[in-house]
Structure 1
Amino acid sequence: MKVVVLGAGVIGTLTAWYLLEHGHEVIIIDRASAAAMETSYANGAQISVCYCEPWANPAAPLKLLKWLPRDDAPLLFRLKLDPHQWSWGLRFLSQCTGSAFDRNVRQLVALGQYSHAAFHEVFAKTGIECNREEKGILHFFTSQQAMDNGSHEAAVMQRYGVKRDVISREAVLQVEPALQSFAEHIVGGTYTPEDESGDAFVFAQKLMKQCLARGATALFQTDILGFECHGAGVTRVQVKDQNTGEASTIKADAYVAALGSFTAPLLRRIGIYLPIYPTKGYSATMRLKQPEKASSVSMLDDDFKIAISRLGDSIRIAGTAETAGYDTSLNSSVSKVRCKMLVERYEQLFPGVADTTEPNFWAGLRPSTPSNVPIMGRSKYGNLWINSGHGSLGWTHSAGSGRAVAELISGKKPDLAFRFCGV
């Protein structure tokens, strides 16, 4: 079959790769100049199968209220005159129950484990190097209350089949000796040895090159305008070349919408309403002045709810979430506070290790669903498929999502306990 993949982020690129594995003819379309230039560009870098709890949980509403006045809050809900945001927010609250949490976390764990196996397959077949570290993820705590909460969360996740160990301060320092300079503040931690980290941007760029070498076609700097539909199917996708301004249509047997946060507004034009809304995330990437003193294990800082990942001779600090519509600018007072916090916190943890004078700040839009569970499967149009809504776990779930959707398109049933739509 001829399949058009809309979106060349890490989700779209892996979907294209798996479609090629199944022998399909693949066309990839993206408005950017290359693969992974938006949401996948400078994310937190963690492949965190074992840290996949949904944001929506019984404790979330009270935390959100407490965080409302803080510009540096881990999750900041900025109300806008946007009915889609209000609808998303109400759905989010409906997911903050114990039964919804149980239902959602089961799917996220299953998809994470499936994706972990798919990643190993992709890395083995492609030989791609992307500053991948297979050293687990270390979550450290600086108060006994936080440690107790972390221990409880670890016990909960262990019941879902996740290996998350509760460890002492001494064990934290054994896992990551670079934390020695901050040791007096650490009470303990949790550790997931099966988790990983790596540069999603580098990975997607290299995988795209391999897709093109295998015969895929990529149309970059191409805007996706909409669809032509007839009956229960899509007949063509409407596009426009940014350089020439020329509009055209592309006909295929199947289409995959993997456009991150922009999947929802595009599909609304043809009567498909998805509960996907962007949550803005921030990162700072800095050159290491003293690489030998920097951490190599990917970490979670519980106090500031940020991720820290080593990427070769650089370090990336990422985190926070802000529902602020489709704005990715870094100029607002809130954005400046959040960016400054990332750099200052790293300097507190590892003084003098990174060059804090010229951090590369970035903001991207996580395509979030109220449940944190992505939307994958067939739409109401029989040949239009959806692979979107992965939120903060896009890098983690990308290989499994690409593999599963490619299998569905190929008429196969993925070996995955997941509620696919339309199948």
Structure 2
Amino acid sequence: MKIIVLGGGVIGVTSAWYLAKLGHEVELIDRQPAAGMETSFANAGQVSPGYSTPWAAPGLPRKAIGWMLGKHSPLVIRPRLDPAMIRWMIQLWRNCTAEAYDRNKSRMLRIAEYSRDCLGDLRHETGITYDDRQRGLIQLFRTQAQLDHAADDMRILAESGVDHELLDVDGIVGAEPALGRTRHLLKGGLRLPGDESGDAHLFTQRLAALAAGQGVRFRYDTGITGFRTQGDRIAAVETSAGPITGDAYLVATGSHTPALLKPLGIRIPVYPVKGYSLTIPLTDPDRAPVSTVNDETYKVAMTRLGDRIRVGGTAELTGYDTRLRPERRETLELSFNSLFGGGELSRATFWTGLRPNTPDGTPIVGHAGRWKNLWLNTGHGTLGWTMACGSGRLIADLISDRRPNIEHADLSIARYG
């Protein structure tokens, strides 16, 4: 089949790669001049299946109120007269039950663990490098309450067969020696030895080059404006370069997917959640992370990427606003400076991107419903890099009418009715 992939981020490119490997003719369309130039450009760098956790959790509404009262809140909500935002928030609150949390986290762990395995296979097959490290992740707890709450996540990790260990402060410093000078700030940590790290932008661009070698055609600098339909099928995708036709169409356009699907009568609960990052030149390796750590207090991730340190986090509900806000940079710097060092902050690059979040935290991977040749791979939130290879391989199998390696029915749009 000829398959048109819409979107050139890490999700679209991995999907195109796996589709081409199955023998399809693949054409990928993106408005940017190269692959991985939007949300995949400067994320936190973590491939973290063990840390795959839905936002919607028991107690979130109460926590959110407390967070928003603080200067360095990990969550900022900027009220807007936006029905989509209001609907999304209502659905998020409805998922803040213990039952929904367990269900959603189990789904996320399933696709994330599969994805990590697919990434390993791809690395072995192609030799691709991307400032990658396979040295685990540590979730740092600064308070006893955070440490106590870890028991809930550990139960689900155990049920899902995910390797993990609870560390005392000595254990944390043993894994991340640079934290020895700030050990007085810590109460403990949850280590996930199967997690990894790497530069998603570098990976996406290098995989795009490999995919081109497999015959994938890339149409960059091409805007996507809509679809032509015929009966119950998509007949063409409308672009700034004119209509482009194929046998099947895969939408992997992240936060912009809802607007693209709306004229087709498809409403998906994907809403942009704005995140920020700093990319800091490494100056002193002995004071920097060995691998990757998450500061549970500020919800900030710090990752070693070659000769750089990536510090990413915070979440804003502010629509499609991509302005850089200095106060968000202050939060990232505060978390990093209080724990580590070893980087030249004055030369750091400050960046923001829009994460496509679903209210239950689980991506939407599968058939689009009423249109027979339309497929979706979107809604990965903060875990697009973590889930990219798994969801790319899964959607390629589904489009090819092959039996996937994991359960997938509850990942499709059908779960929303």
In the alignment, is the contact (CA less than 8 A) between 1:299 and 1:308 conserved in 2? yes
In the alignment, is the contact (CA less than 8 A) between 1:134 and 1:194 conserved in 2? yes
In the alignment, is the contact (CA less than 8 A) between 1:376 and 1:388 conserved in 2? yes
Q: What is the one-letter code of the residue matched to 2:385?
A: W
**1:82 deviation in Å?**
0.6
- The residue aligned with 2:354 is 365
- 376-385 vs 151-160, which moves further: 151-160
- The residue aligned with 1:9 is 9
**1:178 deviation in Å?**
1.3
Aligned pairs for 1:152-231 (under 5 A) are: 152-231=152-231
In the alignment, is the contact (CA less than 8 A) between 1:279 and 1:367 conserved in 2? yes
Q: What is the one-letter code of the residue matched to 1:9?
A: G
Q: How far apart in 1 are the matches of 2:71 and 2:31?
A: 32
Q: How far apart in 1 are the matches of 2:68 and 2:171?
A: 35
Query: Is the partner of 2:32 in helix, strand or coil?
Result: coil
**1:67 deviation in Å?**
2.1
Q: What is the one-letter code of the residue matched to 1:319?
A: G
Q: What is the one-letter code of the residue matched to 2:302?
A: I
**1:420 deviation in Å?**
4.0
- The alignment's TM-score, normalised by the length of structure 2, stands at 0.96
Query: Is the partner of 1:264 in helix, strand or coil?
Result: helix
Q: How far apart in 2 are the matches of 1:270 and 1:155?
A: 42
Q: How far apart in 1 are the matches of 2:25 and 2:377?
A: 18
Residue 318 of structure 2: which of 324, 330, 351 is its match? 324
- The residue aligned with 2:74 is 74
- Note if 1:347 corresponds to 2:337: yes
Q: How far apart in 1 are the matches of 2:343 and 2:362?
A: 35
- The residue aligned with 2:402 is 412
**1:190 deviation in Å?**
0.9
Superposed CA offset, 1:343-382 (max 9, x none): 232122224x110112101111010000011111111211
**1:336 deviation in Å?**
1.1
In the alignment, is the contact (CA less than 8 A) between 1:232 and 1:381 conserved in 2? yes
- The residue aligned with 1:31 is 31
Q: How far apart in 1 are the matches of 2:405 and 2:98?
A: 27
- The alignment's TM-score, normalised by the length of structure 1, stands at 0.95
- The residue aligned with 2:122 is 122
In the alignment, is the contact (CA less than 8 A) between 2:358 and 2:380 conserved in 1? yes
Query: Is the partner of 2:345 in helix, strand or coil?
Result: coil
- The residue aligned with 1:148 is 148
Q: What is the one-letter code of the residue matched to 1:35?
A: A
Q: What is the one-letter code of the residue matched to 1:410?
A: S
Superposed CA offset, 1:104-136 (max 9, x none): 112111111211111111111121111111000
Superposed CA offset, 1:323-345 (max 9, x none): 11011110xxxx21111221232
**1:61 deviation in Å?**
1.2
In the alignment, is the contact (CA less than 8 A) between 1:71 and 1:338 conserved in 2? no
Query: Is the partner of 2:239 in helix, strand or coil?
Result: strand
In the alignment, is the contact (CA less than 8 A) between 2:169 and 2:186 conserved in 1? yes
Query: Is the partner of 2:26 in helix, strand or coil?
Result: strand
Superposed CA offset, 1:175-201 (max 9, x none): 111111112222211101010010000
Q: How far apart in 1 are the matches of 2:359 and 2:141?
A: 27
Q: How far apart in 1 are the matches of 2:413 and 2:401?
A: 13
- Note if 1:376 corresponds to 2:365: yes
Q: How far apart in 2 are the matches of 1:398 and 1:109?
A: 13
**1:102 deviation in Å?**
1.9
Query: Is the partner of 1:14 in helix, strand or coil?
Result: helix
Q: How far apart in 2 are the matches of 1:164 and 1:69?
A: 33
In the alignment, is the contact (CA less than 8 A) between 1:107 and 1:417 conserved in 2? no
- 33-42 vs 115-124, which moves further: 115-124
Q: What is the one-letter code of the residue matched to 1:359?
A: A
Q: How far apart in 1 are the matches of 2:346 and 2:413?
A: 51
Q: CA RMSD in A?
A: 1.4
Runs of 4+ in 1 over 3 A off after TM superposition: none
Q: How far apart in 2 are the matches of 1:70 and 1:355?
A: 27
Superposed CA offset, 1:259-298 (max 9, x none): 0000111110211111000000010010011124322121
Residue 421 of structure 1: which of 408, 412, 417 is its match? 412
Q: How far apart in 1 are the matches of 2:65 and 2:143?
A: 22
Query: Is the partner of 1:116 in helix, strand or coil?
Result: helix
For structure 1, list consecutive stretches of 5 or more residues without a partner in the other structure.
Answer: 241-246
Q: How far apart in 2 are the matches of 1:321 and 1:235?
A: 38
| Percent of pairs with identical residues | 39
- The residue aligned with 1:392 is 382
In the alignment, is the contact (CA less than 8 A) between 1:5 and 1:28 conserved in 2? yes
Aligned pairs for 1:242-257 (under 5 A) are: 247-257=241-251
- 139-148 vs 199-208, which moves further: 139-148
Q: How far apart in 2 are the matches of 1:345 and 1:21?
A: 42
- The residue aligned with 2:43 is 43
Q: How far apart in 2 are the matches of 1:235 and 1:395?
A: 31
**1:71 deviation in Å?**
4.8
